């Protein structure tokens, strides 16, 4: 027996009516009617419009892939054409470049040959001048004094070769980073000026005799002395009293300068004494003399 609440109170419902009411509720909530939506969602999870668009995606991707491949192929062809043109230009210009190089090498060799010939001529003229001067001087005391004076001037100026004891100094680049520990022209200038101040009588660098007309300069990657390019190691020979020359060199600015380069930059700076050094004369350099009556 069931009871139902109405506006006037509680009314008793008979069993037949209760069963009918329950059957009506079950009819309204039938399983088949409530599962249609879920069944449709399960069977068709994607909206038909989205499905149509998704079906067209592979075709679009295929077209994009084909376009990318075509663009890549065009780029490869263009790069290949550029390399081919560059190779052809290089091949065509190679004979002209080789010809210019050969001409430049020939000009350099010709200039070197002319320079050597002029140097030999200068040496020959200097020897002839010395012979004539010696023959022109007599054997009297005045001529002997003049001859000694000329010999001394030749030694000082570089017009004559000199031999004697002195210092042998070897300097060279360090072993660190390139450019930070290389011997510069100013380093050699400081060393040479220090040797002059210390009392050196004659100096040469790698066989190049220094005179009042000499210049120590940097030209490109090389150091030039008397307009001749030199490479390291640089050997500086200085004639003078070995005992006093080395001690006085330390008192000049050259001593601390090169000791600092050796300690801080790792550059080579070796000083040794020699009982006999030979410094050649400067080719073509002569000392003119005159006599007053």
Domain edges within the chain? 2-43, 161-279
Distances (CA, A) of 227 to 19, 30, 120, 208, 261: 130, 116, 17, 10, 26
pLDDT-wise least confident of 7-21, 84-98, 104-118 = 7-21
Q: Which CATH number fits domain 161-279: 3.30.70.1880, 3.40.718.10, 3.30.300.130, 3.40.50.2300?
A: 3.30.70.1880
| Res 235: pLDDT | 95
239-289 residue pLDDT tens = 999 889 999 999 999 999 999 999 988 899 999 999 999 988 776 555 544
pLDDT at 20: 46
Full DSSP string of 16-40: HHHHHHHHHHHHHT-HHHHSHHHHH
Q: How high is the mean pLDDT of the chain?
A: 76
**In which residue are the tokens 């001409």 written?**
103
Residue (of 157, 182, 149, 160) closest to 261 by Cα position:
182
pLDDT in tens, 150-208: 666 666 666 678 889 999 999 999 876 555 788 999 999 999 999 999 999 899 999 89
């Amino acid at each position: 027996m069931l009871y139902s609440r109405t506006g006037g109170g509680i009314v008793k419902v008979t069993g037949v009516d209760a069963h009918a009411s329950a059957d009506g509720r079950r009819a309204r909530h039938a399983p088949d009617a409530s599962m249609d939506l879920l069944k449709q969602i399960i069977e068709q999870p994607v909206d038909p419009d989205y499905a149509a668009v998704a079906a067209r995606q592979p075709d679009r991707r295929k077209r994009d892939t084909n376009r990318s491949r075509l663009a890549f192929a065009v780029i490869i062809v263009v790069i290949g054409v550029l390399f081919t043109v560059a190779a052809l230009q290089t091949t065509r210009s190679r004979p002209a470049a080789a010809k210019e190089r050969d001409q430049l090498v020939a000009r350099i060799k010709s200039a070197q040959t002319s320079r050597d010939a002029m140097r030999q001529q200068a040496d020959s003229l200097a020897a002839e001048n010395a012979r004539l001067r010696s023959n022109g001087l007599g054997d009297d005391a005045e001529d002997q004094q003049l001859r000694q004076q000329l010999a001394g001037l030749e030694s000082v100026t570089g017009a004559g070769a000199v031999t004697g004891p002195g210092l042998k100094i070897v300097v060279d680049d360090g072993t660190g980073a390139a450019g930070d520990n290389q011997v510069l022209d100013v380093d050699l200038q400081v060393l040479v000026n220090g040797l002059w101040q210390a009392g050196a009588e004659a100096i040469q660098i790698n066989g190049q005799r220094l005179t009042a007309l000499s210049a120590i300069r940097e030209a490109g990657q090389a150091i030039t002395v008397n307009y001749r390019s030199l490479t390291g190691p640089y050997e500086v020979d200085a004639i003078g009293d070995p005992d006093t020359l080395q001690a006085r060199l330390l008192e000049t600015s050259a001593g601390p300068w090169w000791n600092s380069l050796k300690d801080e930059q790792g550059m080579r700076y070796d000083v040794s004494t020699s009982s006999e050094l030979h410094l050649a004369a400067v080719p073509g350099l002569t000392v003119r003399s005159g006599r007053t009556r």
